[in-house]
Each structure stands twice: as C-alpha cells, then as structure tokens.
Amino acid sequence: MSAQKNILLLGSGFVAEPCLEYLLRSGNNRVTVACRRAEKAQELTSKYPGSTAISLDVEDDAALEAAVAAHDLTISLIPYTQHARVIKAAIKAKKHVVTTSYISPAMEELDAAAKEAGIVCMNEIGLDPGIDHLYALKIINEVHAEGGKIKSFESFCGGLPAPEASNNPLGYKFSWSARG
C-alpha cells in the first residue's frame, strides 16, 4: 500500500468535482479543496469523505504559500492568470504542481527555478490543452511510422454535456472561464 498523499485542489468549478472523485478513488489520497468562498468548497467536499474545504484567496501570497507548503501536490483548476503565482508558491515550498492551462510567458520564466527546486510542474493537463495534444501526436507518429508526411494538421476540441445537463439552446456547457 502506498503512502497517503495530501493534495491541494485549487478551484471548485465544473472540472473540480470529477477531479476530486478521481483523486479519492485510491483511498490513499486526502484532498483539500480551496476556493475564495468557503461555502462553495464545503458544498463540494460534503459529498466526498477524505476531502476537506478551506477558503483561500490565491492573491494572498502568504496564505497561498502556506496552503501549498502543507500539501504534497497542488492541482490548480483556477483561472490561468493565477497559475504563475501558484507555481511560484510551489517552487518556494519545493512541491509539485499541475495546471490545466497553456504555458504562458510568465509560467515559462519559472522553468529554471522549478528545475532548480527539483519539482515537477506539469501544465496543459486537461482536455484542451492536454488530451488533444496526446492524440494529435499519436496520429502524427502513426502517419510517420507508415512513411507518410503531414502537410497540414488542424485540431478542434470540445465536448457535449450529459443530456440532463444540456439545458440551454446551444446544448453546450463551458468547463472553463472565457474571461480567464
């Protein structure tokens, strides 16, 4: 049996619940869900034993650094505009961090410091970006393995919600914030 891991999950939006449920499947993980409004995090964690809720303003550097330092891993599902701040806290605490966003210039600037701290900083780990990149690379490699050549490649990504959640004229739900 592997050792218990303490995971900090930043955010409580659409993606947080499936992430929380998945993380708790092994029984070895304890997850702290953190967001600005404690009641939002509590609403989510009340359904999952092994999880706790905290209120955390990620713009409060001292509070963010303390929360990151108290966990083995931080998963950031908050707006991409905050990910560099989260990565800085992870570097300071020498803790691993995962985000779902594209690598911004501010995040890229932290690469050497993350390596020096000996932490893994995984970005673009979602559907788009993330899974779409893996499948694109798989397809490209298969074409090359057969002696083919890629002249052009376009990728479109999206998803449809379950029918019971498809309650708007477009039948689509965003799982991310268009505003960042």
128 is an active site residue: yes
Which residue among the candidates 61, 72, 128, 132 is catalytic per the annotation?
A: 128
Cβ atoms within 10 Å of 55's Cβ, excluding its own: 14
First to last CA, the chain: 39
Residue type, position 56, single letter: L
Question: Is the separation of the CB atoms in 94 and 115 below 8 Å?
Answer: no
From the CA atom positions of the chain, what is the Rg in Å?
18
Interatomic CA distance for residues 16 and 13, integer angstroms: 5
Query: CA 149, CA 20: separation in Å to the nearest integer?
Result: 41
Q: Which amino acid is at 95?
A: K
3-state secondary structure of 29: strand
Residue 75 phi, psi (nearest 5): -115, 120
3-class state of residue 66 by DSSP: helix
In 3D, which of 57, 15, 63 has the Cα closest to residue 37?
Answer: 57
| Catalytic residue numbers, as ranges | 128
